[in-house]
Amino acid sequence: MDSVEIRRRRIELTRGDITTQAVDAIANAANEALRGGGGVDGAIHRAAGPGLLDELRDRYPAGTPTGTAVATAAHRLPSRWVLHAVGPVWRGGGHGEAELLDGAYRSCLRLADELRARTLAFPAISMGIYGYPSDEGARIGVEAVARHLGGEGTSLEVVRFVLFSDETYDHFAVALRETDVSD
């Protein structure tokens, strides 16, 4: 596991299954409709059980736009909350994808603070079926978290990127090494 410390807070990288993380909140790489899907989204919905979809339908019938996130209970997951972040589909880089991906991460971090979460786990948002380039996607995620942890007033103590493949882990490890985490 790779990690760095920022103002007595930590960013961690690990390989694994985000649905098994015993943290306050996990982020979900969701779609705008918030109705489940494939990849991380499907795995989270399967592990959480049908109550998650019921809550999403009741609380967010219109879904949420790309670049934003919403919170639900975690249902049968070992965390307390799920933060459903909608990252962009990669369309070549000229359609605001970087800003939308940064917005998805920042929305989760804000929600975690509103919930007073101390620990948060992220997947590699938009880097699966949405096709976001891995090196750029990892850099955006790590930089968003580093900026947040370096600021004032966050409740977060540990933010962990839970990465499914060795290749994705390697992209995040490079981003972590190259990101300025000085106070």
Instruction: Supply the residues annotated as catalytic.
Output: 41
Q: Are 85 and 144 in contact (CB under 8 A)?
A: no
Strand blocks (E) in 74-133? 81-86, 119-122
Q: Both tokens of residue 103?
A: 């917005």
Cα–Cα dist 121/13, whole Å: 10
Cα–Cα dist 135/95, whole Å: 18
Distance between terminal CA atoms of the chain? 22
How much helix, strand and coil, in percent to the nearest 5, is found in the chain?
Answer: 40, 20, 40
